[in-house]
Structure 1
Amino acid sequence: MRTKNIAIPRSYLMVFTMILGLGSPALGQVKKGNTSTVLYKNASAPVDARVKDLLKRMTLEEKVGQLCTLLGWDMYDKKGDSVGVSEAFKTVISKRYIGSFWATLRADPWTKKTLVTGLTPKLSAKATNALQKYMMENTRLGIPLLLAEECPHGHMAIGTTVFSTSIGQASTWDPALIQEMAATIAKEARLQGAHIGYGPVLDLVREPRWSRLEETYGEDPYLISQMGISMVKGFQGNNINSGSNVISTLKHFTAYGSPEGGHNGGIALTGLRDLYSSYLPPFQAAIKAGALSIMASYNSIDGVPCSSNSFLLKDVLVKQWGFRGFTVSDLGGIPGVRSNHHVAATMEEAATLSINAGLDADLGGEAYGDALMKAVNEKKVTMATLDTAVAHVLRLKFAMGLFEHPYVDADVAEKSVGTAENKALAKRVAAESIVLMKNENGLLPLNKAIKHLAVIGPNADNIYNQLGDYTAPQSQEKIVTVLEGIKAKVSPDTKVTYVKGCAIRDTAHSSINEAVAAAQQADAVVIVLGGSSARDFETSYQSTGAAEVKSAEVAVSDMESGEGYDRVSLDLMGLQSRLLERIMATGKPVVLVLIEGRPLNINWAAQHVPAIVNAWYPGQEGGNAVADVLFGDYNPAGRLPVSIPKSVGQLPVYYNYKSASRHDYVEMDAKPLYSFGHGLSYSTFDYQDLKANVQATGNNLKVSVTFTLKNTSKVAGDEVAQLYIRDDASSVVTAVKQLKKFKRIHLAAGEQQAVTFELLPEDLKLLNVDMKWVVEPGTFSVMVGASSEDIRLKGSFEVKQQVLCKY
């Protein structure tokens, strides 16, 4: 594989300029007025010089400690309105010299941090300040901590803003909005003392049985890339030392989202060309955008665990892409090299394999402790290898200015986290994410003056079912459910009757008859079904970790999605299908709203229910956003980022499959129920006048694709125009079509707009038989339309000569 130079964007250069200390005094020099005699403490010295100086002063134990990221929620003690360091924290610092903690501010059933025992934003800031103060004043070298937090759809801490999960974010097809959201998440986390935000998740998913689909941006490399770029830019901004930005940790490197059999962490079945063409591009795009951290995934590829894969961590990341940030394992990923993959016999061997492969930090800290020190002492790991890993971590601590400014302002955190402005942004993201899947005979929007509306279903009024996995405990009044959103939207004279009907999974308890009776009395029905990734937020825990036993309304949790909850079927669980069929039998107009983390089997609904709305997990303002769509205050324009299959027997089913024989089955056709890119609107749009113009000079190539888009309705709305291409004849097998550009465009009633998309060599390239990136001469088909199946315009263009591409 040839190594190519890649263009580094301005944001990346700015970060590395700061990291490397370019423009600062020469190595070893001190600015006038700086009295520090210790180089690493001299803020005026170049960052690399400070790193080298500090490394020379560190013991083996201190170096290894910098590579360990321990679980952080037991590191503070809360007593009323005061918070300080815990004895557990003092112990691990004195014995292991720990340099990083993860999820210090996290609250959920696993951490046993509730609204009572967890921290408010103000107390979070005080807690992180206490941890940093102890490090600065009570350790030999005074090295500040790096504090990492989960931030996929909001900082996973009490009081923060909860946005739509990633699959909903992707459904917006609006990168600018997602960048704004990411900047808000970063600011909320940083003001509380966090430095690293775990996210975005860039896993390409082709397996909806897999439990973590909700955390992804779907099945298309280009869409995932655009969302990833937006998240990185929003998280990191233009200055990582701004006080309102965090380091972005990309997850999960790589090919994690299409595991064999849908098993979370299962092996990835992919060849090298497909790895480069499908799974790696989103990570490369995010790193090119400036991402400073990346997490190795749990799975193996072709027999090599990603946590100890030098090809991925050194050849691809460093040599081919020029990555200069730091790598980190997933939680327990390095011990998993031994316990899950069985390619190491001991923890020492697992640690050796991983750090020699280029994995810098150990999330969980189980492997990079005594085992790593033993490996260094036995010459299995060189001091140079260890120093390189430690330098990657220290460099970012200096770049963020943590040695000079380790603390945050608790009063600012209190005022700036979970604000009304952030709440409004959460509503915007939720509204743009909603996908109108079906609207037969214009049933939607409903009339706000409807006399009697029945709202039915297990997800109509359940706050946690609406929020998705990786969500902290929430106060009841903060979350707006669909029922609450509807009640706030309709006329004061409208009667709204709510009946749950059934749970998501439980079959021992139901009120289906009551739901049917309510539907029979109503003029229309909104039924809210789907799934849940909600962990048990109701249970209280003793200090020992034992649960306080109490009676429950249902015997079975609603949770059928979320990390670890893989499915063998995609059918609606429990009694939901029976409830839907009984409600439809009443003959009333019915709108089905889906709140879910993965595509579920809605074949019957697609055939019988006149209107279907998919909200995924829409976050804290989801109820208001859904109500806006149902009653026409918001014109939906969300598009599916993943195909909706008819059956698990079709899997994998995705739009951009390689050219091959795909034919119908005995039982059904091979097409998905709803295709990638699908989504309806209350407006109608017309596409006209497709033109493709090729400009080629030497190795420079640009193709301009233009067309006219017109809103042909009487309602203003957004259209997501999508451009797909196909390489008509190529030296290797390529996709039948591939998304290359898209744009969400707002048009007033009757308005039209000329749209131009530009295709560059990177959009047309393939990895040829010699494993080189080239644009081959020949014809390309161009397809423009409203989804991968709803193609409105077709054309073609020709490339006359081969173009060599950078990686």
Structure 2
Amino acid sequence: MEKFPYQDASLPVERRVEDLLGRMTLEEKVGQMCQLDGRVNLEQEFQEKHPGSLLQILGEDCKKAIELARSSRLGIPLLLGVDAIHGHSFWPGATIFPTQLGISSSWNAELIEEMGRVTAREMRNTGVAWTFSPVLCIARDLRWGRVGETFGEDPLLIGDFAIALIRGLQGENLSSPDKVLACAKHFTGYSETQGGRDASEADISMRKLRSYFLPPFERAARAGVGSFMTGYQSMEGVPMTANRTLLRKVLKEEWGFEGLLVTDWNNVGTLVTGQKIAPDYKHAAKIAVEAGNDLIMSTPQFYQGCLDAVREGMLDEALIDEAVRRILSVKFRLGLFEDDRYPDPDAADRAAGTPEHRAAALTAARESLILLKNDGLLPVRNAKQVKVCLVGPNADNPINQCGDWSLGTGQANVPKQHPRRCTVTPKDALAEKFILVDNPGEADMIVAAVGDQPKYWGEFKSTATLELQDGQNQLLTEVADTNKPFVIAVISSKPVLLPAAVREKANAIIQQFSPGMLGGQALAEALAGELNPSGRLTVSIPYHVGQQPIYYMQPRGQHGDRYADLTQQPLYPFGYGLGYSEFEYESVTTDRTVYGPEDFIKVLVSVRNTGKRDGVEVVQAYVSDEVTSATWVDQELKGYARIRIPAGENRTAVIVIPASSCSIVNAAGERVVEPGEFELRIGKSSRNILHRVKFVIR
């Protein structure tokens, strides 16, 4: 059989792409731009639309689709995608890590990279080669239903953690069989919608985008992420799917992004049916393709609409070729023409939830656990002799514990659940370390496991309040009224607010953001003192929902610093978290006091563990630009160090800050380093600043 150049793996990707593209009909090219829901009549879809990509299928269900692609005229392999967000979420028995908000609380990029590696390994042999992860949205309004999918409120952390996850998923060689394509989403500003309402209008200027929302995405693009996904929202009347300035000029031209750009679910259809800026799918196809979208997710009407637009002269076929080049290039880089990821479910099952992978998830759950309050009750001594009454809806609920985009949540319309044996709940773990009793009157202490559940998180599920729902406030009041020592264990997708009286009476409060399969074990270890908590908040937790948004990077210059009826400070600030050790920041020095814009500021922080237990401290470095040509925030996180310090010993944290990062976006929308005086602030949180050091950039 004749072998064409595009089938020759020894040739450069560019030559293979051009050879294949030259052999394709218009129908085949437009088909490559279609990502269809795989839960349909596949034979009919392949015959009518020649799809280049499918989603929503795994394992055995992928076999027919891959076989149909193999038997097509040119044998172009499918690119199959799945929401493997914090683990291979929809494969039964896969290792489920904490969600992005959960694992971000570790402030440990290496741990997040390992989550990516494990996820990619467990995706191997399940038919898919692409995950729609990571999320680079900024969490500012906690009412938004997708806060738990983010890495928090700070652009620096979001960029660091996204790059780490991308590195874990894609590795150095994307064609390696245990690596998958990552996707930076949702580009961009999707989280900044009015009232926290999902996918509504986002009031964001270009200056605001360049100041906060674009930098993490730019870092991901320059780090080599293979794909981007557009958001649902519109800005200044322009749906993200139609935003030529951001998609084509900024992402593809300014940043040089060479991967593929996929829409989110039915974004192109929404141009017609929801946002109504297009009268029909022909016009919607024209808008989407001209704006720079390459792959159209779950809008089957795009296929005919695009063909009509080209044939009627409304849409230049050269733009179709441009998009298809990107799609084919990714498929070649993934090695799909040589290995189309035909599934082996038995091998996939063997790789899922291995002891090594679960150990990584346990480490993530441990390092992500945040101690918010402790009056000395914790850690519990002689736990084996202590009677604990465990109450609350999240005491023994695997689905609530594992969090969004996981089996059982209803997302992606997958009805299955992970095998019960895979998840260690608080009840499972506390039974191993304490004496569990059902009667609070007989207990030495009470642990109340509260939080939220799937009906209060995710797409379409923003909340008007942040209060505990479904009678949990009454439960906590009854617990407090027993006058027994009690711990509140909050297991939630995002921050929830506890009643003030109960919060003040509680002896200890622990926060776990959807900690994954091993979250219960981490909780029990923290209670028993086997784990010294080291998690730190990556979002600010308010006193009241009316304080929203309350992120720490507030622009300076407002009248006063409080509401007439309430403080403007959060209850728990960004960067906050307690442990069972005490740390004294003995000194802070910089290598010099004057820097050029291309220099690096080397910061040395001497920290002593004055407690009786070994512990981990997260040293945080903020910078304030003293005078700026345009209004700017009071301080920004510019560096951090997670250091382990034995009891009674001293360690030096080394933080290196590029002087170029001490920048602002000026009134003209340009990111610049303005010469002048700066203040370095070192502390335990955004509010607990312990040392201040002046420096100058010339």
Could you tell me the TM-score, scaled by structure 2's length?
A: 0.96
Which stretch of structure 1 is more off in the superposition, 55-64 or 440-449?
440-449
Please show how residues 199-238 of structure 1 align to structure 2 within 5 Å. 199-238=133-172
- State the alpha-carbon separation in 1 of the partners of residues 197 and 542 from structure 2: 18
Q: Does 1:420 find its partner at 2:355?
A: yes
* Equivalent residue letter for 1:621: L
Partner of 1:99: 52
For residue 52 of structure 1, the aligned residue among 18, 29, 32 is: 18
For residue 507 of structure 2, the aligned residue among 586, 602, 610 is: 610
For residue 714 of structure 1, the aligned residue among 612, 615, 623 is: 612
Q: Does 1:630 find its partner at 2:527?
A: yes
Q: Does 1:307 find its partner at 2:248?
A: no
Q: Write the deviation string for residues 358-401 of structure 1: whole angstroms up to 9, x where unpaired.
A: 01111103342101111111122111100000111111111111
SS in 1 for 2:641: strand
Q: Write the deviation string for residues 227-259 of structure 1: whole angstroms up to 9, x where unpaired.
A: 101111011000000100111011100111121
Q: Does 1:497 find its partner at 2:455?
A: no
For residue 569 of structure 1, the aligned residue among 465, 472, 480 is: 465
CA contact (8 A) 1:337 1:344 kept: yes
Partner of 2:413: none
Shift of 1:55: 1.0
- State the alpha-carbon separation in 2 of the partners of residues 348 and 229 from structure 1: 37
Partner of 2:557: 660
SS in 2 for 1:278: helix
Partner of 1:79: none
Please show how residues 250-261 of structure 1 align to structure 2 within 5 Å. 250-261=184-195
* Equivalent residue letter for 1:565: K
SS in 2 for 1:55: helix
- State the alpha-carbon separation in 2 of the partners of residues 366 and 694 from structure 1: 60
- State the alpha-carbon separation in 1 of the partners of residues 141 and 668 from structure 2: 30
Moved over 6 A (4+): 695-698
SS in 1 for 2:456: coil
Please show how residues 563-712 of structure 1 align to structure 2 within 5 Å. 563-604=459-500, 605-661=502-558, 662-694=560-592, 700-712=598-610
Mark the CA change 1:292 to 1:588 in structure 2 (over 3 Å): closer, same or farther.
same
Q: Does 1:431 find its partner at 2:371?
A: no
Which stretch of structure 1 is more off in the superposition, 768-777 or 391-400?
768-777
Shift of 1:409: 6.5
* Equivalent residue letter for 2:376: N
Please show how residues 242-391 of structure 1 align to structure 2 within 5 Å. 242-391=176-325
Mark the CA change 1:592 to 1:698 in structure 2 (over 3 Å): closer, same or farther.
closer
Shift of 1:695: 7.6
Runs (5+) with no aligned partner, structure 2:
408-416
Shift of 1:698: 6.3
Mark the CA change 1:306 to 1:726 in structure 2 (over 3 Å): closer, same or farther.
same
Shift of 1:772: 2.6
Identity of aligned residues (%): 35
Partner of 1:467: 402
- State the alpha-carbon separation in 2 of the partners of residues 746 and 437 from structure 1: 20
* Equivalent residue letter for 2:81: A
- State the alpha-carbon separation in 2 of the partners of residues 256 and 445 from structure 1: 43
Shift of 1:706: 1.5
Runs (5+) with no aligned partner, structure 1:
1-34, 76-87, 106-123, 499-517, 534-558, 801-807
Q: Does 1:523 find its partner at 2:456?
A: no
Q: Write the deviation string for residues 12-65 of structure 1: whole angstroms up to 9, x where unpaired.
A: xxxxxxxxxxxxxxxxxxxxxxx9541111112211111111111111111111
CA contact (8 A) 1:351 1:367 kept: no
Mark the CA change 1:367 to 1:708 in structure 2 (over 3 Å): closer, same or farther.
farther
Partner of 1:90: 43
* Equivalent residue letter for 1:103: Q
CA contact (8 A) 1:328 1:363 kept: yes
SS in 2 for 1:438: strand
CA contact (8 A) 1:711 1:747 kept: yes
Shift of 1:474: 1.1
Mark the CA change 1:398 to 1:609 in structure 2 (over 3 Å): closer, same or farther.
same
Q: Write the deviation string for residues 290-344 of structure 1: whole angstroms up to 9, x where unpaired.
A: 1010000000111111111011111111121110000000001111122222221
CA contact (8 A) 1:188 1:417 kept: yes
Shift of 1:129: 4.2
SS in 2 for 1:449: helix
- State the alpha-carbon separation in 1 of the partners of residues 534 and 371 from structure 2: 7
Q: Write the deviation string for residues 410-447 of structure 1: whole angstroms up to 9, x where unpaired.
A: 25323212212111111111111110000013433454
How many positions carry a matched residue from both structures? 685
- State the alpha-carbon separation in 2 of the partners of residues 599 and 713 from structure 1: 29
**Considering only aligned residues, what root-mean-square deviation do their CA atoms show, in Å?**
1.6
For residue 452 of structure 1, the aligned residue among 387, 396, 412 is: 387
Partner of 1:478: 422
CA contact (8 A) 1:688 1:793 kept: no
* Equivalent residue letter for 1:153: H
Partner of 2:414: none
- State the alpha-carbon separation in 2 of the partners of residues 659 and 248 from structure 1: 37
Q: Does 1:166 find its partner at 2:100?
A: yes
Q: Does 1:795 find its partner at 2:687?
A: no
Shift of 1:449: 2.5
Could you tell me the TM-score, scaled by structure 1's length?
A: 0.83
- State the alpha-carbon separation in 1 of the partners of residues 595 and 20 from structure 2: 51
- State the alpha-carbon separation in 2 of the partners of residues 444 and 253 from structure 1: 43
CA contact (8 A) 2:129 2:341 kept: no
CA contact (8 A) 1:725 1:781 kept: yes
Q: Does 1:193 find its partner at 2:130?
A: no
CA contact (8 A) 1:455 1:483 kept: yes
